[in-house]
Copies of this chain bind each other. A is one copy, B any other.
Amino acid sequence: MKWVYIEDISIYKDQEVEIRGWVFNKRSSGKVRFLVVRDGTGILQGTIFSTEKDSPLFEKFDVLTQESSLILRGCVREDKRAPGGFELTIKEIEILQLAKDYPITPKSHGIPFLMEHRHLWLRSQKQHAILQIRVELIKAIRDFFDGRGFRLMDTPILTPSACEGTTTLFETEYFDQKAYLSQSGQLYNEATAMAFGKVYCFGPTFRAEKSKTRKHLIEFWMVEPEVAFATLEDMIKLGEDLIISIIERVLDRKKIELDILERDTKPLESIKKPFPCITYDEAIKRLKEKGSKMEWGDDFGAPEETLISELFERPVCITHFPAKIKAFYMQPAPERPDLVLGIDVLASEGYGEIIGGGQRIHDLSLLEEKIKEYNLPREAYEWYFDLRKFGSVPHSGFGLGIERMLAWICKIKHIRETIPFPRLIYKIYP
């Protein structure tokens, strides 16, 4: 008999099939037993009908516990009342293992308990839905860049120097020297962009931040495009298109999962281009009007990000930041060299920064000055200077944090549920 996956069940209408999975739920009603199983791709209701109380199938049904593993054989029937529109008339139950005292029961558990059991918690309907949306979100991003001719160029994790300061770096011995876990593939992207025109990297990044917030992971995935000859304005457009493309794709293909999460999708459906775009100066003015104590020159914290995003129904772009709060490689604004051509995109609904990037310095002497000003070791950046010596061109890029984007799309409170095995401060198990 053919082993099939539940997500393909409609193809096998009126056929005998084999389903391999785990007990999700069960209930009895008179002469009928309902056995709900999951196989990872979906949930299917199986039915057993018998007039005899001691039917062998009933006996097997009776001993089954939550998450017991089994193989079911039976006939696929269309039934509009069944969830998904199909059910299985069970003819045979082969029990592989009876699960005893499965720790995660339908009653509610505390978060520390669930986090300790993340390897099992993943099987729960809500966690399953979030991660299915993650799968779609990642595919949407790859299709977006691949479809526009961007080349995927993997950047290294083990790096000899820091991209944005050294305080939040993980360090390791690398044979006879030190290496650090990458916080961004950007500097390397700049090299590959000069070789391939438009590139992106997409991998895990690491920040050893001691802050304990709902928005920070120690290890998170980031996609970073970089485009030779592109300017700040090009990045605003690229970021808008990317965000809209992700949202449209998830709304289109992950309706069931968004329903499971009880996500009100109206705020997502209404997002259109162009996003409101304000300068840092303007943002400060607006914040002060709202009673914020923030002064010009301060960096935004989570409360400020929330305040700004609440002013708009769409994601908002902020540009032209004070140079001193941004990284050394940012291109100064032509008429205000105290500002840089950076861009942050804040998600709506208070989800904070999802994109950070901008235009990079392409002038060699200006970059050399900045390296000095930021007190960075020149020898570590020799190769980076080379990019400004041999055919330098204006270029720009940004990074989008996958987990923050996903938290927003799913409208979940804490970022820890957006990745299979979250790494948080002091938290590395399982």
B206 pairs with A203, CB closer than 8 A = no
A179 at the interface (CB under 8 A from B): yes
A390 pairs with B67, CB closer than 8 A = yes
A177 at the interface (CB under 8 A from B): yes
- This chain's copy number in the assembly: 2
B132 pairs with A151, CB closer than 8 A = yes
B429 pairs with A160, CB closer than 8 A = yes
0/1 interface trace, chain A 155-175, chain B, CB 8 Å (1 if under): 111111000000000111111
A211 at the interface (CB under 8 A from B): no
0/1 interface trace, chain A 389-430, chain B, CB 8 Å (1 if under): 111110000000000000000000000000111010110111
Known: A172-B170, A393-B97. A421 touches B128 (CB 8 A): no
A122 pairs with B191, CB closer than 8 A = yes
Known: A40-B195, A426-B176. A158 touches B218 (CB 8 A): yes
Chain B residue with the shortest CB-CB distance to A42:
B197
Contacts of A113 in B (CB 8 A): none
A229 pairs with B20, CB closer than 8 A = yes
Please provide the chain A residues from 80 to 135 with a CB less than 8 Å away from any CB of chain B in the complex. 96-97, 99-100, 102-103, 117-120, 122-123, 127-128, 131-132, 135
Measured in the bound complex, the distance between the Cα atoms of B196 and A392 in whole Å is: 47
B391 pairs with A99, CB closer than 8 A = yes
A350 at the interface (CB under 8 A from B): no
A425 pairs with B390, CB closer than 8 A = no
Contacts of A157 in B (CB 8 A): 157, 181, 204, 206, 219
Measured in the bound complex, the distance between the Cα atoms of B424 and A177 in whole Å is: 13
A197 pairs with B425, CB closer than 8 A = no
A343 at the interface (CB under 8 A from B): no
B177 pairs with A172, CB closer than 8 A = no
The interface stretch among A138-146, A248-256, A257-265, A311-319 is A138-146
B174 pairs with A428, CB closer than 8 A = yes
Contacts of A5 in B (CB 8 A): 149, 197
Known: A158-B423, A196-B40. A389 touches B151 (CB 8 A): no
Known: A67-B390, A430-B383. A7 touches B420 (CB 8 A): no
Measured in the bound complex, the distance between the Cα atoms of B392 and A22 in whole Å is: 9
| Residue in A128, A195, A221 with the greatest tally of chain B CB atoms within 10 Å | A195
Contacts of A429 in B (CB 8 A): 160, 383
A99 pairs with B197, CB closer than 8 A = no
0/1 interface trace, chain A 360-381, chain B, CB 8 Å (1 if under): 0000000000000000000000
Measured in the bound complex, the distance between the Cα atoms of B175 and A218 in whole Å is: 11
Measured in the bound complex, the distance between the Cα atoms of B68 and A391 in whole Å is: 4
From B41, B139, B160, B206, A158 is in contact (CB under 8 Å) with B206
From B175, B196, B229, A41 is in contact (CB under 8 Å) with B196
A421 pairs with B389, CB closer than 8 A = no
Chain B residue with the shortest CB-CB distance to A99:
B390
0/1 interface trace, chain A 214-248, chain B, CB 8 Å (1 if under): 00001101000000110000000000000000000
From B20, B173, B389, B423, A171 is in contact (CB under 8 Å) with B173
Chain B residue with the shortest CB-CB distance to A387:
B119
Q: How far is the CB of A407 from chain B (nearest CB, A)?
A: 15
A296 at the interface (CB under 8 A from B): no
Q: A41-B196, A103-B386, A157-B219 are in contact. List 20 more A-B contacts (CB 8 A).
A: A8-B149, A20-B393, A39-B228, A40-B194, A41-B197, A68-B391, A96-B391, A96-B392, A100-B389, A117-B383, A123-B195, A128-B195, A131-B153, A135-B152, A155-B420, A156-B421, A157-B181, A174-B218, A175-B208, A177-B426
List 13 A–B pairs whose Cβ atoms lie within 8 Å, in order of A's numbering. A22-B194, A39-B197, A69-B391, A120-B390, A131-B151, A154-B204, A154-B420, A155-B420, A157-B204, A158-B423, A188-B420, A188-B421, A384-B430
Closest 7 CB pairs of A and B: A40-B197, A383-B430, A69-B391, A119-B191, A122-B195, A40-B196, A99-B390
